[in-house]
Structure 1
């Protein structure tokens, strides 16, 4: 069985009880079965690839914008029903255009990949990470708010510093900063602008606009 020309399995045929030789007709039938099986497996693999491309950003491996927004809507409803907090971060790479202009787009792609890896590996399994577009990422942190958000951002900033990734972050929490989770993005996005205005490599969090410097120890 060779879907996509890659060996996947073997089938052995034998007349175990009669001991008779396998006929050419039986061999032809088996070959047809194997061909059809390979085709089915090939189509299933292609379907999985298409589904993945529909949900994930092909460069960074995190959710694409559409999938992130869909999952965020589900999480918003869950937070409202259960009364749980949640937080949203908007992450933007500092001086990313200069990286592309100076070192080329391939270098910029490597920075984006490294950022996606950093976010996925730093955060919890049930946190949502998406690439919102260009060099902007979004992170949804279920059941996280208040001082916990500051802790997450501080840890993320330290790891970004260690990996030589310069970023600015805007963040907001429900219900601390808004009455409904759907308002999180507008607050976090405004805070991102404040973080960049404060000197980059900064995070600006909450309606009180608290500033955290993103650097190592």
Structure 2
């Protein structure tokens, strides 16, 4: 008999994301965001599969579907697992095809600019080879020092980066500085004014073979005098 194998519609995002982000000499495409959907009740199983792990690592928004089919405790564990695996990702949940919270695609992608939750840095394990590093500074950073940090310290891991996200308070700027990176490409935009909010600077980096201690030490030198 003849057997046929059908794909599940899942694919590695790496090549496509790098091609779009690099531009390839054309302005025909623009990378606006990467969202990933997983079954909240099956995340622990799916997160042992290399492809699912890679997709979570590249995402900047992760939607946990079928949230109504699992207990609040199971949903909390799923959210924590995503946060540990990808500290740069915003997390949302959905039930019966309806989002809990953001009601439009624009609102969902807008979660990327929300302050992300502090997580314990995730070390590489036998389940996944990448790690997520969260860096925090209370107060403002010096713009030139942060640029040097990106161009020297972060650039050392060229070819091993999946995602970079930062929300920073820069000395002399009233607006939040938003950093979004795919692979080795980084884009900087500006968000809402800080106003009376406490100024805190945070960066999350997801990649392979990162030197956590070196990144932490280098980031502390970005503090504004």
Normalising to structure 2: TM-score of the pair? 0.25
Normalising to structure 1: TM-score of the pair? 0.25
* Structure number having the greater strand percentage: 2
* Structure number having the greater helix percentage: 1
